[in-house]
Structure 1
Amino acid sequence: MISKATIDTVFETARVEEVIGDFVNLKRAGSNFKGLSPFSEERSPSFMVSPAKGIWKDFSSGKGGNSVAFLMEHEKFTYPEAIRYLAKKYNIEIEETEQTDEEKANTDVRESMYLVSEFAKTYFHTTLLNSEEGKAIGYSYFKERGFTNETIKKFSLGYSPEAWDAFTKEALGKGYQLEFLESTGLTIPREDRPFDRFKGRVMFPIQSMSGRVLGFGGRILTNDKKAAKYLNSPESDIYHKSKVLYGIYQAKQSIAKLNNCYLVEGYTDVIQFNQAGIENVVASSGTALTPDQIRLVNRLTKNITVLFDGDAAGLRASIRGIDLILEEGMNVKVCTFPDGEDPDSFAKKTSYEDLILYLEHNAKDFIQFKASLLMNEAKNDPIKKADLIRDMVVSISKIPDRIQREIYIQECSRIMDISEQVLQSTLAQLVLKEVNEVDKKQKQVQKAFDFVKNESTNPTDKVDSLYLFEREIIKVLLLYGNKTENFEEVLMKANEEGEIIEVSEMKELKIFQKIYLSLQEDEVEFASPIFREIYGDLINYYLQNEDSGVEKYINHLQAGVPQEVTSIMMEDEKYVLHDWIGQNIFPKTKDETLNQSISDTLFTLRWFLLSEIIEDLKNAVSNEPDSDNMESLTMVMNYIELRGKFSRKLGRVVVRYH
């Protein structure tokens, strides 16, 4: 178990914008950062990070929290895994305390799969470098490919021995369970004896963006025609090949920095480019490009350059992925290599400077690429040419930005020598067809929603006013709890004539003290369980940390920040997200009228609670008309008079909640 001292150090050291910046391309927005949501499909940023508050909020999905919560949500880390990841990132030594048997028994299944995969990566890499078989076969192969020791280490390349169960025996001997060896696909079950899936292959670990080992690719080195040349880990709870890009862990920082990503097909293409000095490159690992893989890149950059070898047949099969990239609102270029060359072979024999120049000079936008690829076949055949033009317009229709569509229509008109009017007409038909299909689907969804709504809701339901009051109090405590303000205190005193009068005096209090004393005086308890819990935690926190901000409270919410806390704290960041100030809309900040706002909220809460008491007493009187209700009626009149005083103090404020 990780010690509390280590956890405290991790929270004090980790910067939320740096942690999230490894996974999402963040751009400065005032004192905050914004980016595309990593949890939903979107083209306009709704993801906000606040360094000052140490938290993030995804307004599209409602998720939010601190650095640990992000890693748990995005990377599916357990709490200890997130702490370990941050400790490694910030070079913090982890102090361990011994786990109980119960804690060991409760180890998460997915975590066990990750541990097995990490062990396998280390085993294969060590076998490659240290065993006679590994050096003679695997290491020699990688050296023949031109990979240096630094490159082999960077990508943790390895070798799985030829023996049927060499890895499985080693893993079992180290205490790893057969259940997890099989569920990760490293071991294939068999009644008489389980055996290694990747025996006799050089190994390529496949890592997530955070560096966790998800699976493996293995290449056979013999000429066995019955065995597949490349073999990948099967789909599992931790490995989904359609959602993974090979090399993303090594490439993420370079992609974000250079604002471009090179997309290749194979493992060795990625590795050779890295060795040549170009690190912003990833591979789809031989599978057809998927929307999930594109969105992985989209978090880091809007620009993709697809690299193809010179095989024309392969090119035609591969360009289908371009439309998927365009649909995600990304800018796509295509670069091909000379006949007989692929990214691996070309990078191997080309200097860094020449390789950069080649990529810059030969990268074409998708319109030019499609035209150059297919024009030779179509130039003497009007029908093929018409099909090619139609195919290009289909690609243009996938682009969500209207201005970009217009520019590409002009470019297509110039290249294909056809009028813009015809292209615009064809484009309009395609867009209209797509809009109609989307509209049809939305109407079906809305019809189902209306049915559920009519079945489950009452049209006369009102907003829960008490919930709003309690939420407002929690918001003030979170944002300003330890701030000191001057509050007007109304006291009842006797004047010189002996009359009881109201006397106002200013009193300096911390905001949490003002709220706590006011609610204690009225014996008010929160109705919402979650707000009641947060309120108690916050008051205790401020009593013990009067000189600290709320960041320390957030960090020690262990498994993550409740959604209500993050939503409240990041509420005002919507002004930044939507650039209201840039549109000359200036929302009034609570800081400007803080003490008045707090007083109004507390008075309004009292007004509301009094109104509920009055209604309860009225109902009691109505239900027992034959009883002596004079005492109850007197109480009603007294409460109404007191409510009137609150109303006169509050004026229009009461109307908001009535």
Structure 2
Amino acid sequence: MISKSTIDTVFETARVEEVIGDFVQLKRSGSNLKGLSPFTDERTPSFMVSPVKQIWKDFSSGKGGNVVAFLMEHEHFTYPEAIRYLAKKYGIEIEETQQSDEQKEQANERESMYLVSEYASKFFQHSLLETDEGKAIGLSYFKERGFTSETIKKFDLGYSPDKWDAFTNKARDDGYKLEYLEKTGLTIVKEDKKFDRFKGRVMFPIHSMSGRVLGFGGRILNNTKKAAKYLNSPESDIYHKSKVLYGIYHAKQAISKEDNCYLVEGYTDVIQFFQSGIENTVSSSGTALTPEQIRLINRLTKNITVLFDGDAAGTRASLRGIDLILEQGMNVKVCPFPEGEDPDSFARANSEEEIREFLEENSQDFIKYKASLLMDEAKNDPVKKAGLIRDMVNSIAKIPDNIQQEVYLQECSRIMDISDEVLYATLAQIQNKEVPSSSRQGKQKMEVVREKPVTTPKVDQLYILERNIIKILMLYGNEVEDFEDLLLKQNDDTGELILEPDVQQSKVFEKVFLDLQEDEIAFSNEDFRELYQVLINRLNTGEEFEIGNVVNELEPSQSKEITDILMQEEQYELHSWDRHDIPVKKKEQAVNQYVTQTILNLRRHLIDRKLQELLEGIRTAETEDERTDIKNEVVGFNKLRTLLSERLGRVM
């Protein structure tokens, strides 16, 4: 187990904006940073990071927390895995307490598979760089491809010995279970036989966005006709081909910085481009492009440039992926290479400056490229031309943004020399076909429903007011303020109740605690009740009170609740909370005014609830005496409510 001192050091050192910035493109928004949600498919940023508070909040999914919570949510790390990742990122040495055999046995299956995959990667690297066979076969191949020693180490390239069970036997000798060797696909088990899947291949580890080894691609070097040229790890609990992009771990920062991603076909294309200085390059690893892979890129940039091999088959395959990219609302450019060339061979033959110049000059908007390509195919055949125009409009129909659709239709009209009215009509026809008849009927029904009065959701005032008190303790708990209390006294002459001002200085948390104690107010929400006790206890110790430290020490559910409260402070400005007697602190408003207003509104709300109970009691009372007693109580509470309203008026 990782020692507490290491965990404390990690939390003190790690910066939430730096860690999340490795996965999400963040842009400044006042004192915060914002970006697209990494958990949902969205086109308008709803993901916020607070460098001051060291927390994050994703308003689209409701998730939030500290830096460790982000890694656990985004990378599916366990708590120890997240701490190890941060320690590695910031160069912190990990101190560990002794683990018992029972604790080792309890390591979950996914973690065991990750450990096996990491071990395999190191085994293949050692085999490539430290054995005679690896140097003679694997290393020679990589050198022939033009890969430098630095590049080979950067991408953790390796070699699997040309023996049936070299890796399997070594892994089992080192204590790794056959169960996990099989589940990761590294070992194939058939009856009493156990042999290596990647025997005699050069190895390309496939990393997650955080750098974890998920699986492998292996290329055979001999001319065996029965064996596939490339072989990938099978699907497993940690490796899903449709959700992984080769090179994303090494490319993510460059993609965000360049605000563009080059999409190529193979492993060596990625590596060769990276070595040439074009680091914002990823590959779908020979599989058809998927929406999940596109969304990985979408977290880092809205712009993709698809690089086509210089052959017709490659071009056709890439064109099919463009429609998927358009559906995700991304901007697509294409760049075809000269016939007989691919990104790998082109990068080997040219300098970085020449590559960048070629990409800049030859990258073109997909609509222009696809139109010119299809028109060349159609030539003067009107039937073919009509079919290809429909093909173009089909692609444009995938674009979710109406303005972009219109711009592309106009461009298509100009290139293909056809009226835009016809294209608009075709687009409408396509879109109408894509909506099922039941949905169209439902749409008509909805139009009738819209005529009915729209009811707004009821606001839970008590929940919001209790939540505000937790926020006050978090943000201002240790601040010292002058509070004006209005003491309830009886006028000696008239006998009426009056309010006399009395100013006292105290810390905010003391004021809140004493006022709630005086009125015997207990939180109705269980989470808030527990958080209130935690915060009051922490503030009462007199130690330095840092929001980030408090969040780090809370239970995950409490930590999420605190994050929600703190990060929704900005959102409250968007709602008309004043109409519901829920105060929201304005920048120009003093803390003491905000605290007093919140507590008074809470008191008034509780009185209103009590009055409702009493009025219901009058209705159900069995005798006139009971009704009279209750009416007297109502009069008393109404007087108190009037005094509270008067006091609120003075505060506001």
Q: Same fold (TM over 0.5)?
A: yes
CA contact (8 A) 1:30 1:576 kept: no
Q: CA deviation at 1:600?
A: 3.1
Is the Cα–Cα contact under 8 Å of residues 551 and 559 in structure 2 kept in the other structure?
Answer: no
Alpha-carbon distance change, 462 to 6 in structure 1, aligned in 2, over 3 angstroms: same
Q: Is the 8 A contact 2:607 2:641 kept in 1?
A: no
* Map of 1:487 onto structure 2: 483
Indicate whether 1:597 and 2:594 are aligned: yes
Find the partner of 2:566 among 550, 564, 569: 569
Hey, what's the Cα distance between the residues in 2 that align with 1:135 and 1:301?
Answer: 39
Distance 1:380 1:96, change over 3 A: same
Aligned-residue Cα RMSD (Å) equals: 3.2
Residue matched to 1:179: 179
Q: Residue 529 of structure 2 corresponds to which residue in structure 1?
A: 532
**Alignment partners' CA distance in 1, 2:90 and 2:464:** 40
In 1, the alpha carbon distance for the partners of 2:170 and 2:438 equals 54
Report the Cα offset of residue 634 of structure 1.
5.5
**Shift, 1:638, TM fit:** 5.1
Q: For residues 369 and 84 of structure 1, what CA distance do their matches in structure 2 show?
A: 47
Aligned equivalents of 1:54, 1:506: Cα separation in 2: 36
Q: Which runs of 5+ in 1 are unaligned?
A: 447-458, 579-586
Shift of 1:62: 0.9
Deviates more, 1:98-107 or 1:192-201: 98-107
Normalised to the residue count of structure 1, the TM-score between the two structures is 0.89
Q: CA deviation at 1:599?
A: 2.1
With the length of structure 2 as denominator, give the TM-score of the two structures: 0.89
Q: Which amino acid aligns with 2:6?
A: T
* 1:494–1:589 Cα change, 3 Å: closer
Match of residue 398 from structure 2: 398
Decide whether aligned partners of structure 1 residues 75 and 438 sit closer, same or farther in structure 2, where only a CA change above 3 A counts.
farther
- Residue 393 of structure 1: how far off its partner (Å): 1.5
Query: Residue 15 of structure 1 contacts residue 54 of structure 1 at CA under 8 Å; is this kept in 2?
Result: yes
Q: Deviation of residue 613 (structure 1)?
A: 5.4
Residue of structure 2 in register with 1:454 after alignment? none
Q: Confirm whether residue 650 of structure 1 aligns to residue 645 of structure 2.
A: yes
Task: Measure the CA separation in 1 of the matches of 2:574 and 2:168.
Answer: 52
Q: How does 1:98-177 map to 2 (within 5 A)?
A: 98-177=98-177
Q: Structure 1 CA distance, aligned partners of 2:105 and 2:522? A: 39
Residues 145 and 100 from structure 1, CA distance in 2 versus in 1: closer, same or farther, beyond 3 angstroms? same
Deviation at 1:555, TM superposition (A): 2.2
Match of 1:287 in 2: 287
Task: Tell me by how many angstroms 1:378 deviates.
Answer: 0.5
Cα distance between partner residues in 2 of 1:440 and 1:172: 61
Checking the alignment, whether the CA contact within 8 Å between 1:65 and 1:566 is kept in structure 2 is yes
- Counterpart of 1:73 in structure 2 is 73
Larger RCO: 1 or 2 (CA < 8 Å, sep 6+): 1
In the aligned structure 2, how far is the partner of 1:626 from the partner of 1:376? 95
- Any idea what the Cα deviations from partners look like across 1:12-55, whole Å, max 9, x if unmatched? 22221111111111111111111111111111111111111211
Distance of 1:438 and 1:128 partners within structure 2: 60
Distance 1:357 1:593, change over 3 A: same
User: Whole-Å Cα distance in 2 between the matches of residues 207 and 28 of structure 1?
Assistant: 29
Letter in 2 for 1:72: M
Q: Could you tell me how far apart the structure 1 residues matched to 2:458 and 2:277 are?
A: 63
Question: How much does 1:151 deviate?
Answer: 0.7
- Per the alignment, do residues 181 and 32 of structure 1 end up closer, same or farther by CA in structure 2, a change over 3 Å counting? same
Single out whichever of 265-274 and 410-419 deviates more from structure 2: 410-419
Aligned partner letter, 2:561:
E
Alpha carbons of structure 1 residues 461 and 401: separation in structure 2 relative to 1, 3 Å: closer
Distance in 1 separating the partners of 2:34 and 2:441: 31
Which of 459, 475, 484 in structure 1 is aligned with 2:471?
475
1:637 pairs with 2:644: no
1:171–1:636 Cα change, 3 Å: farther
Q: Which residue of 1 aligns with 2:234?
A: 234
Between the aligned partners of 1:367 and 1:618, the Cα distance in structure 2 is 70
- On the 8 A contact 1:308/1:337 being kept in 2, the answer is yes
- Which stretch of the first structure deviates more once superposed, 84-93 or 472-481? 472-481
- Local SS of the residue matching 2:236: coil
Partner of 2:8: 8
Aligned to 1:324: 324
Aligned length in residues: 633
Contact conserved, 1:309 with 1:339, CA < 8 A, in 2?
Answer: yes
Which of 547, 551, 556 is the equivalent residue of 2:553?
556
1:506 is paired with a residue of what secondary structure? strand
Aligned-pair distance for 1:595?
2.6
- What does 1:101-500 align with in structure 2 at a 5 Å threshold? 101-434=101-434, 439-440=439-440, 464-491=460-487
**Percent identity for Structure 1 against Structure 2:** 64
Partner in structure 2 of residue 583 of structure 1: none
Matched, 1:505 2:497: no
**Structure 1 residue ranges, 4+ long, deviating more than 4 angstroms after superposition:** 432-446, 459-465, 492-502, 558-561, 575-578, 610-630, 633-636, 651-654
Change in CA separation of 1:652 and 1:171 when aligned onto 2, cut-off 3 Å: farther
Give distance in 2, aligned partners of 1:576 and 1:306.
Answer: 42
AA aligned opposite 1:39 = F
Letter in 2 for 1:57: K
